[in-house]
Amino acid sequence: MRIGFLCNPVAGMGGRVGLKGTDGKVAEARARGAEPRSPERARRALDALFEHAPDAEVLAWGDPMGASEVRAAGFDPEVLGGPDGEGTDAADTRAAVEAFLGAGADLVLFVGGDGTAADVAEALEGSRTPMLGVPAGVKVYSSVFAVSPEDAAYVAATFERTERREVMDVDEDDYREGEVNPELRAVAFVPVAERLQSSKQLGGGTVEALAEGVADDVRASPGRTWVLGPGSTVGAVKEELGFEGSPIGVDVYRDGEVLVEDASESEILASLGEDNVVVVTPIGGQGFVFGRGNPQLSPAVIRECDLEIVASRDKLDDLRVLRVDTDDPELDEALRGWVKVRVGKFERRMMKIV
């Protein structure tokens, strides 16, 4: 098998510093102290790929778009070119994919988010060569991504059939303003596998009673710090507490006061006390509790907090399981298992994190 591999080196950088994406914000992300996320996820995927398929022929694109990560995993890649200049952009992604096609790639394996997926799909248009994403962006709405880097490697090494799946994306400027309107960007061939995520669906159902129950708990817990994640369900909790908050960001609340609105990872950590709870809702249609749309809730934050998962009954009815992808495999493993999800003022439902 010949696998074309590329990595968007800046994908997801803006997440932990509160930018909710990196499109047009790379310089600002770096100024805020953001660290690249995608190279580490690339290494995880490639290490696992080497375990599953050490004899695979890997086509690569020059640094910083993946060649070094391919070599570090143990492969001897055929480097077909590289980006022009110091930075990288969508044109570099498309050029890499076109080169992979010309060299007879059987699969394009990429690391990035929805924007990268759209660029890969554009370059693959008219071809039946499949694509497969290692999720590294802040917003990952498309159904062309594996659940985790390790899952992407397993799928790449073992798939036998392909199917057409959706590439979705949102306008990041609108997204930062709280408007989430996923648009279909392309339909691409993707390996058939259970370890792929579904397209993002906007959840429905009433959550007023649920929000009232959580708000009652907040008011009855003086001194406790509440880290309130993004999403409309948690947004209803914020509204019940009397503030609007950030619809797609993380707000920190304690003793009737909003300590930080639309907080970055560092701001969350600085606001925590001895008793902390993080409140999150799974993404509809996908089931991710951590790792999609909330990278501010980093492993360091999660380890300092108790976990409260909230969701409408309608949303859970559409989900078989919940998922996590925190960038920390040990933490992911610790989070897996059966958990109680609050679905009403008092009611809870058992769901399994896998």
* Any domain includes 164: yes
pLDDT in tens, 228-245: 999 999 999 999 999 999
pTM for the full predicted model: 0.66
pLDDT in tens, 59-117: 999 999 999 999 999 999 999 999 987 778 999 999 999 999 999 999 999 999 999 99
- Is residue 155 located within the same domain as residue 283? no
Residue 16 has pLDDT above 60, yes or no: no
Residues 198, 225 contacting (CB under 8 angstroms): no
* Any domain includes 196: no
* Any domain includes 198: no
- Is residue 35 located within the same domain as residue 121? yes
Residue 274 has pLDDT above 70, yes or no: yes
pLDDT in tens, 171-200: 655 555 555 566 788 889 999 998 887 765
- Phi/psi at 97 (nearest 5 deg)? -65, -40
For residue 259, which amino acid is it?
L
Residue where a domain terminates, one of 159, 191, 223 = 191
Domain that holds residue 346: 208-353
Count up the domains in the chain and report the number.
Answer: 2
Which residue, chain included where needed, has tokens 């990288």?
88
- Is residue 154 located within the same domain as residue 222? no
Beta pairing class for 337-342 and 306-310: parallel
- Phi/psi at 260 (nearest 5 deg)? -145, 135
User: Per-residue DSSP letters for 217-283?
Assistant: HHHT-TT-EEEE-SSHHHHHHHHHTT----TTS-EEEETTEEEESS--HHHHHHH--SSEEEEE-PP
Residue where a domain terminates, one of 166, 191, 216 = 191
Give the ranges where the chain is alpha helix by DSSP (H): 26-31, 38-52, 67-72, 90-102, 114-124, 149-158, 172-176, 208-219, 232-240, 265-271, 299-303, 313-317, 329-335
- Is residue 235 located within the same domain as residue 340? yes
Which residues partner with 189 through β-bridges?
164
Which H or E element spans position 322? none
- Is residue 148 located within the same domain as residue 185? yes
- Is residue 176 located within the same domain as residue 34? yes
- Using a 10 angstrom Cβ sphere, with 0-12 exposed, 13-18 middle and 19 or more buried, the burial of residue 230 is buried
- Is residue 66 located within the same domain as residue 177? yes
* Any domain includes 200: no
